[in-house]
């Protein structure tokens, strides 16, 4: 079982995110602790919030008093609702939060059924509860609960010693091509996106961008794709890498097929309405662009804002890591188009900060610079879905992860140029054989 511990400042956002899944029949409230009862046993966000309010009002110093924990058993584990309740109760007690108010939500909108726990890390007197060695204690709690409830251990998978971390590409390192490969060869397996723009929004989380190139060969128009690595300012830091270096799945033809397949699947995607309402809640509960991004990041959603040279927003893209889908704002609703956000943030200082990937060039103080940095441009902790190893992530720095624990097959052991050359030689040999037979 994997535990992910997120911290934030907006409990309304956390409750709304989970309650929307309940309202859409993609989730349920399994249990609660120290939550006021209702006449009919049903809850609204306001009713749930009223039980947390005294704790949050008493808090004076803790900047992120909200806990948003997810507990994720192995998909092969068939966990009953009753056991989910017991697991949540035991986990909160083992972590020192057993006497806190909390709500346990079950999510069923994806194949991997799991639970979310919304709570607070400050007691009724406003004092922050101890969280020292939290990651280690959480790991130990998971191992103990795996044994108690006979769950598959998260550590049972043997990782190849040559595996590399699935993380943003660092252009300063020597193995840039291998780093790119470890990202682009695997994203299409897990994420759905309908256009090159949406694909690039996802790639931007890993400091990569793709560009389409067009040319003529023997009178025929040919389209190709090249990849670049971006530096800290969002500018190209490397020469282009041909998509053929990474296999057919990285090329334009395969991507076009993926776009079409994603378009069909996303027509009936149940998470679309949930994401739409989650974004609408963030609009009404945030006070500027930075806060908006932070709130969505706490709900597992990265926001990519694209601006022109004049600073005007021309594109909004939302990456939902829960459903693993990428949406343009206008696809979700007319009320979430770029023009709407331009109007919403026209007086916001962050409007002047940067184009989507460029660092502010105005002379700002260090604190201002830190506040304006686009937190959304780093991968969310939910990227650890692939192997589900035993790393426990605690979201810090406005929900950004301290490290990525997921591992993907190593790309360093493969030489893609050599592989591409070998494929060309095979084709040449086949042509020669056909000519010889004639």
What pLDDT, on a 0 to 100 scale, did the predictor assign at position 130?
A: 93
CA atoms of 321 and 381, how far apart (whole Å): 9
- C-alpha pair distances (Å), 323 with each of 72, 115, 182, 242: 15, 15, 21, 30
Residues constituting the chain: 438
Angle between helix axes 289-298 and 271-285 (nearest 10 degrees) is 140
For residues 420 and 426, what is the distance between their CA atoms, to the nearest angstrom?
A: 10
pLDDT of residue 216: 67
Of 193, 224, 231, 192, residue with least CA distance to 209: 231
Number of helices (H), then strands (E), belonging to the chain: the values are: 14, 14
pLDDT for residue 388: 39
pLDDT value, residue 219:
67
Burial class (CB in 10 A: 0-12, 13-18, 19+), 355: middle
pLDDT tens track of the chain, all 438 residues? Answer: 999 999 999 999 899 989 988 988 889 999 999 999 999 889 999 999 999 999 999 998 999 999 999 999 998 899 999 999 999 999 999 999 999 999 999 998 777 899 999 999 999 999 999 999 999 999 999 999 999 999 998 754 444 434 444 578 999 987 899 889 989 988 898 899 999 999 999 999 999 999 998 876 666 767 789 999 999 888 999 999 999 888 888 999 999 999 999 999 999 998 899 999 999 999 998 889 999 999 998 888 999 999 988 889 999 999 999 889 999 999 999 999 999 999 899 866 444 444 443 433 333 333 333 333 334 455 655 555 443 333 333 333 333 222 222 323 333 334 444 445 445 555 555 666 666 655
Max alpha carbon distance in the chain (Å)?
90
Token pair listed for 311: 């600073």
Quick check: 183 and 409 in contact, CB under 8 A? Answer: no
Which pLDDT score, from 0 to 100, does residue 349 have? 41
Q: What is the pLDDT of residue 369?
A: 37
The helix (run of H) or strand (run of E) holding residue 242 is strand 241-242
Q: What angle do CA 398, 401, 403 make, to 5 degrees?
A: 155
Extract the tokens encoding 380: 């969310």
* DSSP3 helix / strand / coil % (the chain, rounded to 5): 40, 20, 40
**Residue 249: predicted pLDDT:** 84
| Nearest alpha-carbon partner for 90 in 50, 147, 14, 42 | 147
pLDDT value of residue 381 = 55
Residue-level pLDDT at 25: 87
Query: What is d(CA 403, CA 199) in angstroms, rounded to the nearest whole number?
Result: 23
| All structural domains of the chain | 2-148 (3.30.930.30), 164-267+407-416 (no CATH), 271-386 (no CATH)
């Amino acid at each position: 079982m994997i535990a992910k511990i997120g911290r934030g400042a907006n409990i309304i956002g956390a409750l709304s995110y989970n309650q929307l899944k309940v309202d859409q029949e993609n989730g349920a409230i399994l249990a609660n602790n120290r939550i006021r009862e209702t006449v009919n046993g049903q809850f609204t966000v306001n009713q749930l919030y009223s039980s947390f309010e005294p704790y949050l009002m008493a808090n004076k110093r803790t900047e992120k008093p909200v806990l948003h924990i997810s507990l994720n058993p192995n998909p092969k584990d068939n966990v009953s609702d009753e056991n989910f309740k017991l697991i949540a109760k035991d986990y909160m007690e083992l972590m020192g939060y057993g006497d806190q108010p909390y709500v346990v939500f079950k999510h069923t909108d994806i194949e991997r059924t799991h639970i979310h726990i919304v709570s607070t890390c400050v007691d009724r007197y406003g004092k922050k509860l101890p969280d020292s060695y939290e990651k280690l204690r959480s790991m130990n709690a998971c191992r103990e609960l795996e044994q108690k409830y006979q769950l598959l251990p998260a550590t049972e998978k043997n990782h190849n010693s040559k595996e590399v971390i699935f993380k943003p590409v660092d252009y300063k390192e020597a193995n840039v091509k291998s780093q790119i490969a470890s990202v682009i060869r695997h994203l299409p397996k897990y994420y759905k996106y309908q256009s090159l723009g949406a694909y690039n929004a996802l790639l931007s989380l890993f400091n990569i961008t793709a560009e389409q190139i067009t040319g003529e060969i023997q009178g025929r128009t040919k389209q190709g794709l090249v990849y670049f690595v971006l530096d800290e300012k969002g500018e190209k830091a490397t020469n282009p890498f041909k998509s053929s270096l990474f296999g057919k799945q990285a090329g334009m033809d395969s991507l076009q097929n993926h776009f079409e397949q994603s378009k069909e699947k996303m027509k009936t995607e149940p998470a679309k309405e949930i994401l739409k309402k989650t974004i609408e809640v963030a609009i009404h509960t945030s006070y500027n662009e930075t806060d908006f991004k932070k709130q969505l990041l706490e709900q597992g959603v990265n926001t990519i804002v694209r601006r022109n040279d004049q600073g005007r927003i021309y594109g909004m893209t939302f990456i939902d890591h829960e459903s693993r889908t990428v949406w343009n704002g206008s696809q979700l609703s007319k009320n979430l188009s770029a023009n709407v956000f331009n109007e919403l943030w026209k007086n916001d200082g962050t409007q002047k900060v940067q184009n989507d990937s460029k660092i502010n060039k105005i002379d700002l103080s260090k604190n201002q610079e830190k506040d304006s940095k686009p937190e959304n441009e780093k991968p969310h902790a939910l990227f650890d879905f692939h192997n589900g190893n035993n790393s426990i992530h605690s979201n810090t720095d406005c929900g950004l992860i301290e490290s990525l624990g997921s591992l993907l097959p190593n790309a360093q052991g493969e030489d893609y140029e050599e592989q591409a050359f070998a494929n060309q030689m095979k084709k040449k040999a086949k042509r020669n054989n056909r000519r010889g037979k004639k």
